[in-house]
Amino acid sequence: MYKLSIDNLNELFALIGQDSKVYAPIERAGQVEFFLWSVEEKVRLDALNTVKSAKGFFFPQTEVLYKTKLEGKKIEIEAAEDAEEPTVYFGVRACDVKSFDVLDKVFLSEPVDSYYAAKRKHGTIVSMACSKPADTCFCGLFGIDATSPAGDVVTWIVGDTLYWDSKTEKGEALTVKVKELLVDADDVEVKKQQTEVKEMIAKAPLHDLSLEGFGGDALDELFNSPKWEALSSACLGCGTCTFVCPTCQCYDIRDYDSGHGVQKFRCWDSCMYSDFTMMAHGNNRTTQLQRFRQRFMHKLVYFPANNDGDFSCVGCGRCLQKCPQSLNIVKVIKALGGKKND
């Protein structure tokens, strides 16, 4: 394990930035999001959750798939190029790091999504342990340890010191590159912080949720539950929950006609939208109840059925913070889950 003073963070980013792009949680106009780092930016490693999640690193909100042009009877097509620029993502929290596992299961399963794969391959993740979990956090429910996140390099901030521990080959390579700024350290302070934070998590409001009763086997019973009515009746179908969610990965493919040709692009979409499943001979989900149910059934039942029991939620709490109607996955888990939630 190594350490450096957080006064040297800009030097660290500048050194990494010599041959990589660096993304970090940065405050602009009062909101913290992952933005491309430069010296002028206000880095906010203390901020817990960025407004939007980290999924956009590898699955951007919009991305061009190919360019094409129609002229009379002729068509030209030119594929987009693979992202090959090394990029370091700094300060990713445990829940968001775990979300990459969920996204990998979708985009790296056959047939591999080469757009996602290229960005993933050239990305190095520097995660950051949490020292002050929020009341809306419940990553522990999904087996995530917020004090010891996954990632290529894991970091902890204790007081004015950043501790640095590389975990993978990519992490090792990054460590070598910034070695001149790091000094050897023991893990005493880190261990102490981990113990304290674990105690905080054990007392957090959502610490005792249970996923008992969810997973692939409970499909019919949960789908037909009369409780969806009350759970979903206030939903506006605004899609905020799906956009901020690190594991929501539904997308649309569309044409943008620039006047000099067409860009075929994909963009985030939402199963909460009324036209999501609209087709020529009708719509198979005409009510918001059906759409609301789809979002949560997918996360808690369908996805686990296809992915060895892993859920498509990482407990980041963003949907708890952002839904204008105070609807969220915790309410669903409490209402439909096993007795342990009572």
Partner 1 sequence: MTKKEDVLIPKLGVVTDIRRDTPDVKTFRVNAPEGGKVFEHMPGQCAMLSIPGVGEAMFSITSSPTNKEFMEFSIKKCGCVTEWLHQMEVGQEILIRGPLGKCFPVETELKGKNLLFVAGGIGIAPLRSVINYVIDNRENYGTVDVVYGARSAEDLVDLKEMQESWSNIDGIDVHLTIDREQEGWDGNVAFVPNYVKDLGFTTDKTVLVCGPPIMIKFTVAGLQEIGFQTNQIYTTMELKMKCGVGKCGRCNIGDKYVCKDGPVFRYDELGELPAEY
| Residue 333 engages ligand SF4 in binding (rule: CB under 6 A) | no
Shortest distance (Å) from residue 53 CB to partner 1: 17
Shortest distance (Å) from residue 66 CB to ligand SF4: 30
Q: Is 49 or 193 the residue whose CB approaches ligand SF4 more closely? A: 49
| Binds 188: which of partner 1, ligand SF4, none (CB < 5-8 Å by kind) | none
b/e burial code for range 1-12 (CB count within 10 A of at least 16 → b): bbbbebeebeeb
| Residues between 243 and 272 with contacts to ligand SF4, criterion CB under 6 A | 244-247, 272
Shortest distance (Å) from residue 144 CB to partner 1: 23
98/313 Cα distance (integer angstroms): 9
| Binds 236: which of partner 1, ligand SF4, none (CB < 5-8 Å by kind) | ligand SF4
| Residue 126 engages ligand SF4 in binding (rule: CB under 6 A) | no
Three-state secondary-structure class, residue 30 = coil
User: Helices 169-178 and 9-17, interaxial angle, to 10°?
Assistant: 110
| Residue 237 engages ligand SF4 in binding (rule: CB under 6 A) | yes
Alpha-carbon distances, residue 124 vs 154, 171, 231 (angstroms): 11, 7, 39
| Binds 319: which of partner 1, ligand SF4, none (CB < 5-8 Å by kind) | ligand SF4
149/81 Cα distance (integer angstroms): 32
Q: Whose CA is closest to 155, among 25, 66, 62, 248?
A: 25
Shortest distance (Å) from residue 305 CB to ligand SF4: 17
Structure tokens at 331: 């309410």
Expressed in angstroms, the distance from the first to the final Cα of the chain is 43
269/248 Cα distance (integer angstroms): 9
Contacting positions for partner 1 (CB under 8 A): 65-66, 68-70, 73-75, 77, 79-82, 84, 106-107, 109, 111, 113-115, 216, 219-220, 223, 249-255, 257, 261-262, 264, 266, 269, 271, 276-281, 284-285, 290, 294, 297-298, 301-302, 305-306
